[in-house]
């Protein structure tokens, strides 16, 4: 096994919801047995609709939510339910770019403070060095030095997201989790930010987890793609395999939902579009969670949970009919 | 930023009160305590005594001017103590939650249920009259509103992206509270503190009026009113001027607080016909 930067081993995060009085306490399995690896310098696209557990997975990787079961290895640290991470060490390993560039910057801090404070906190004491690193990083994300003393409200959405990216990179992390980094931005700015992220990845040797429901973005930036449905990974593989030869009906449905002027093979599969809505994570359907919406549903699907099985080397799908070519 | 009329009038009144308190030794005509002269007792306002004299023949103008020192010291210092206590409790309760939040909430409810003046009276009865006792009694009894506001602000701000980002960057809880939460909730807290200052000045006057505040013969607006009680029918100026001083100062603070609220919270629609 190659040196992994991040590896999740049967990771599960559960929340207790409800109260003793009103209907009893239920367990919400936000993340339910996820096994996943990210190599240094790689970009993993994490795809799934709202409520499938993407954000909880991100919080768990950053150590803000402790796993109920399983283990996380990240940059030499191990996190499990009874072993919280060393926050400072985590901060230098994993960082995050947020979706909303308006809520994610402190309105009372200048750009310089937003970037310099974390450096000082992590022991970069020398004033000149702090200043040099702040200005250098600002240049890398496309901000001019005179922007340093301005407040967030003086910037546009795209520029704010650049500040957010700079904040995530100031401690030189190895892994950056991008939580829908462009979905709150104007369409005309999206490409700029995506290209900036790709440039920085090569320049600084970063690995990304790109969380998005926009498959266009994921297809453009990802080396590998993992598709999540109700807390489980249902398919993962190289981006070409996922987009050209999807094996899980849910992946097919997602790809079929992309407006597609080029008529890719998967999009033309008859009846590929998923019916209905995502089921509640409080009460998921038995067997394969996707079975109520699946065009390939058989009796087996409501009884037995399909495990991730190999389709081709590096391409896994959790469907009983993954080998059925349509 | 456009300042409303409230801010100007209120700020002006408060600034005048502050200026009077600071320059009291220079603008007073006589010593407020020592220059008693029974030959001049209860003279109406005149050129020599602009506000008249009281039953001991002291110049009321000079006593009102010196009284501003006491009233404003008590108002400002004890309100600062209230704000610090309230914000510390509310901020930590809102950010941490859990049993600490329950505890602070319970304490706030208890404080809100006890009339704060009665509570201050009890503290004064234990500590005895005097300036320091007044500061303690009023500084410990009026923090519940600041606490409520700080807690509500902390609850709503802590889910903001920048607070999460700070956690991810390794900031500890106190650093987050100080650098991320506190600067973003100062507006409403200043408003509450300004309004509360008017309240503490009134409470000081009430305690002194009841004889538990500043001891005579030192001038405090409340104790001057108390002394004037007996002569209110024959020498109304003895009570009118200290009363007017209290009225104008508290009015100024309330207008200033309202004006600041409009500035810090433009969304709150003011209902004025």
Shortest distance, CA B113 to any CA of chain A (angstroms) = 29
**In the predicted model, what is the mean pLDDT of residues A153-174?**
93
Q: Span B234-246, mean pLDDT? A: 89
- Is residue A242 over pLDDT 50? yes
* Nearest residue of chain B to residue A169 (CA atoms): B169
- CA atoms of A188 and A296, how far apart (whole Å): 39
> In whole numbers, what is the pLDDT of chain A averaged over residues?
86
Residue A116 has a pLDDT of 94
Q: Which of the four pLDDT bands, split at 50, 70 and 90, describes residue B268?
A: low
- pLDDT at A92 (0 to 100): 92
Is residue B273 over pLDDT 50? no
Per-residue model confidence (pLDDT) at position A55: 85
- Nearest residue of B to residue A102 by CA position? B161
Task: Give contacts of A94 with chain B, Cβ < 8 Å.
Answer: 168
Mean of the pLDDT values across residues B225-233?
85
Q: Quote the pLDDT of residue A198.
A: 93
Give the range among B43-57, B58-72, B98-112 with minimum mean pLDDT.
B43-57
pLDDT in tens, B249-263: 999 999 998 888 887
HEC string for chain A = CCCCCEEEEEEEEEEEECECCCECCEEEEEEEEEEEEECCCCEEEEECCCCCCHHHHHHHHCCCCCCCEEEEEECCEEEECCECCCHHHHHCCEEEECCCCCCCCCCCCCHHHHHHHHHHHCCCCCHHHHHHHHHHHHHHCCCCHHHHHCCHHHCCHHHHHHHHHHHHHCCCCCEEEEECCCCCCCHHHHHHHHHHHHHHHHHHCCEEEEEECCHHHHHHHCCEEEEEECCEEEEEEEHHHHHHCCCCHHHHHHHHCCCCCCCCCHHHCCCCCCCCCCCCCCCCCCCCCCHHHCCCCCHHHHCCCCCCEEEECCEEECCCCCCCCC
Segment among A200-204, A248-252, B27-31, B239-243 with least mean pLDDT: B27-31
* B162 in A contact zone (CB under 8 Å): yes
Q: What is the pLDDT of residue A325?
A: 59
Mutant choice from A62, A106, A151, A176 vs B, greatest count of B C-beta within 10 A: A106
Note whether A104 contacts B180, CB cutoff 8 Å.
no
In whole numbers, what is the pLDDT of chain B averaged over residues? 87
B170, B183, B184 member nearest A122 (Cβ): B170
CB within 8 A of B114, min separation 6: which ones?
none
Residue A264: per-residue pLDDT: 58
Residue of B nearest to A87 (CA): B170
Element (H, E) at B66: helix B60-96
Q: With CB atoms and an 8 Å threshold, state whether B169 touches A100.
A: no
Q: Going by C-beta distance under 8 Å and a sequence separation of 6 or more, which residues neighbour residue A263?
A: none
Dihedral sign, Cα of residue A72, residue A76, residue A82, residue A85: negative
Mean of pLDDT values over A7-32: 83
**Is residue B94's pLDDT more than 50?**
yes
Residue A56 backbone phi and psi in degrees, to 5: -65, -40
Tell if the CB–CB gap between A104 and B167 is shorter than 8 Å: no
Backbone φ and ψ for B183, nearest 5 degrees, come out as: -60, -25
What tokens appear for A161 in the block?
A: 């997201």
Residue A326 pLDDT exceeds 60? no
Q: Identify residues of A whose CB sits under 8 angstroms from chain B CBs.
A: 62, 64, 87-88, 90-92, 94-96, 98-100, 103-109, 117-118, 121-122, 164, 167-168, 171
What confidence score (pLDDT) does residue A265 get?
54
User: What confidence score (pLDDT) does residue A253 get?
Assistant: 85
pLDDT of residue B230: 83
In chain A, pLDDT over 70 holds for what percent of residues? 94
Q: What are phi and psi of B69, to 5 degrees?
A: -60, -50
Q: For B220, left (φ over 0), alpha (ψ -120 to 50), or beta?
A: beta
Contact A118 B167 (CB under 8 A): no
pLDDT band at residue A186, thresholds of 50, 70 and 90? confident
- In this prediction, residues B23-40 reach a mean pLDDT of 79
Count of A-B CB contacts under 8 Å: 59
Contacts of B165 in chain A (CB under 8 A): 96, 98, 104, 164, 167-168
With beta carbons under 8 A apart, name residues in chain B contacting A117.
179
Q: Kindly report, residue by residue over A87-140, the tens digit of the pLDDT.
A: 899 999 999 999 899 899 999 899 999 999 999 999 887 899 999 999 999 999
Reference A41, options A160, A185, A201; nearest CA is A201
Cβ of B178 under 8 Å from any chain A Cβ?
no
Minimum-distance CB partner of A100 among B161, B171, B179: B161
Q: Report yes or no: B180 at the A interface, CB cutoff 8 Å.
A: yes
Cβ separation B175–A122 shorter than 8 A: no
Q: Which of A98, A107, A121 sits opposite B170 (nearest CB)?
A: A121
The pLDDT assigned to B271 comes to 43
Q: How far is A74 from chain B (nearest CA, A)?
A: 14
Q: Is B53 left (phi over 0), alpha (psi -120 to 50) or beta?
A: beta
- pLDDT tens-place string over residues A28-55: 888 988 999 999 999 999 998 887 888 8
- pLDDT interval class at A273 (50, 70, 90): low
Lowest-confidence segment of A199-213, B12-26, B128-142, B217-231 by average pLDDT: B217-231
Mean pLDDT of B81-90: 95
Contact B165 A104 (CB under 8 A): yes
Confidence at residue B228, expressed as pLDDT on a 0 to 100 scale = 85
Q: pTM (2 decimals)? A: 0.84
> In angstroms, how far is CA A310 from the centroid of its own chain?
23
- Of A100, A109, A171, Cβ closest to residue B169: A171
Burial of A23 (C-beta count, 10 Å sphere; 0-12/13-18/19+): exposed
**Is pLDDT of B272 > 50?**
no
List pLDDT tens digits, range B184-217.
998 889 999 999 999 999 999 898 888 888 877 7
Residue count of chain A, please give it.
326
Q: Is the pLDDT of residue B103 over 60?
A: yes
pLDDT at A20 over 80: no
Task: Please indicate whether, in this complex, the C-beta atoms of B170 and A105 are within 8 angstroms of each other.
Answer: no
CB contacts of A168 in chain B (<8 Å) are 165
Confidence of residue B2 (pLDDT cuts 50, 70, 90): low
183-202 of B, contacting A, C-beta below 8 A: 183-184
Of B170, B171, B184, the CB nearest to A107: B184
Instruction: Look at A94 and B184 and tell me if their CB atoms are within 8 Å.
Output: no
Using CB atoms, pick whichever of B161, B169, B170 lies closest to residue A104: B161
How many helices (H) and strands (E) chain B has is answered by 12, 0
Partner-chain contact A96 B168, CB within 8 Å: yes
Quote the pLDDT of residue B33.
74
CA distance A131 to A119: 10
User: Which residues of chain B have a CB within 8 Å of the CB of A171?
Assistant: 169
Q: How confident is the model at residue A272 (pLDDT cuts 50, 70, 90)?
A: low
- 8 Å CB contact of A122 and B160: no
The pLDDT score that the predictor gives to residue B265 is: 65
């Amino acid at each position: 096994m190659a040196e992994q930067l991040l590896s999740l081993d049967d990771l599960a995060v559960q929340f207790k919801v409800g109260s003793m009085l009103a209907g009893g306490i239920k367990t919400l399995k936000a993340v339910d047995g996820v096994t996943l690896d990210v190599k240094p310098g790689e970009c993993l696209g994490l795809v799934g609709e709202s409520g499938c557990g993407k954000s909880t997975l991100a919080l768990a990787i950053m150590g803000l939510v402790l796993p109920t079961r399983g283990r996380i290895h990240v940059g030499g640290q191990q996190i499990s339910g009874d072993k919280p991470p060393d926050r400072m060490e985590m901060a230098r390993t994993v960082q995050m770019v947020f979706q909303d560039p308006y809520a994610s910057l402190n309105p009372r801090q200048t750009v310089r403070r937003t970037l310099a404070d974390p450096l000082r906190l992590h022991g970069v004491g020398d004033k000149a060095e702090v200043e040099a690193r702040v200005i250098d990083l600002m240049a890398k994300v496309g901000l001019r030095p005179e922007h340093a003393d301005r407040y967030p409200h003086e910037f546009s959405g795209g520029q704010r997201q650049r500040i957010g990216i700079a904040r995530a990179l100031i401690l030189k992390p190895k892994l950056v989790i991008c939580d829908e980094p462009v979905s709150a931005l104007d369409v005309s700015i999206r490409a700029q930010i995506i290209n900036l992220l790709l440039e920085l990845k090569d320049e600084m040797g970063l690995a990304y987890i790109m969380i998005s429901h926009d498959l266009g973005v994921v297809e453009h930036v990802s080396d590998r793609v993992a598709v999540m449905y109700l807390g489980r990974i249902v398919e993962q593989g190289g981006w070409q395999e996922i987009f050209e030869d999807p094996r899980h009906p849910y992946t097919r449905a997602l790809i079929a939902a992309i407006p597609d002027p080029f008529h890719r093979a998967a999009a033309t599969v008859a009846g590929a579009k998923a019916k209905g809505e995502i089921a509640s994570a409080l009460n998921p359907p038995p067997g394969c969670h996707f079975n109520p919406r699946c065009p390939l549903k058989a009796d087996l699907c409501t009884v037995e949970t399909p495990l991730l099985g190999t389709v081709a080397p590096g391409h896994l799908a959790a469907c009983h009919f993954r080998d059925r070519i349509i | 930023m456009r300042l409303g009329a409230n801010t100007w009038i209120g700020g002006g009144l408060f600034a005048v009160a502050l200026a009077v308190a600071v320059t009291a030794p220079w603008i007073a005509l006589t010593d407020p305590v020592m220059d008693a002269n029974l030959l001049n007792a209860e003279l109406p306002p005149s050129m020599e005594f602009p506000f008249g004299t009281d039953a001991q023949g002291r110049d009321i103008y000079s006593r009102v001017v010196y009284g501003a020192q006491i009233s404003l010291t008590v108002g400002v210092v004890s309100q600062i103590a209230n704000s610090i206590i309230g914000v510390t409790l509310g901020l930590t309760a809102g950010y941490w939650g859990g049993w600490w939040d329950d505890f602070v909430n319970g304490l706030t409810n208890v404080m809100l249920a006890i009339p704060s003046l009665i509570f201050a009276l009890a503290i004064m009865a234990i500590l005895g009259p005097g300036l320091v006792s007044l500061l303690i009694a009023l500084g410990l009894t009026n923090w519940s509103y600041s606490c409520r506001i700080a807690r509500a602000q902390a609850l709503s701000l802590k889910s903001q992206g920048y607070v999460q980002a700070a956690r991810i960057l390794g900031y500890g809880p106190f650093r987050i509270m100080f650098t991320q939460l506190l600067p973003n909730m100062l507006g409403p807290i200043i408003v509450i503190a300004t309004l509360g200052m008017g309240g503490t000045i009134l409470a000081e006057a009430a305690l002194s009026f009841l004889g538990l505040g500043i001891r005579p013969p030192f001038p405090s607006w409340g104790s001057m009113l108390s002394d004037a009680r007996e002569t209110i029918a024959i020498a109304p100026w003895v009570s009118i001027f200290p009363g007017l001083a209290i009225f104008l100062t508290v009015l100024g603070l309330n207008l200033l607080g309202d004006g600041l609220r409009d500035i810090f919270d433009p969304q709150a629609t003011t209902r004025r016909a």
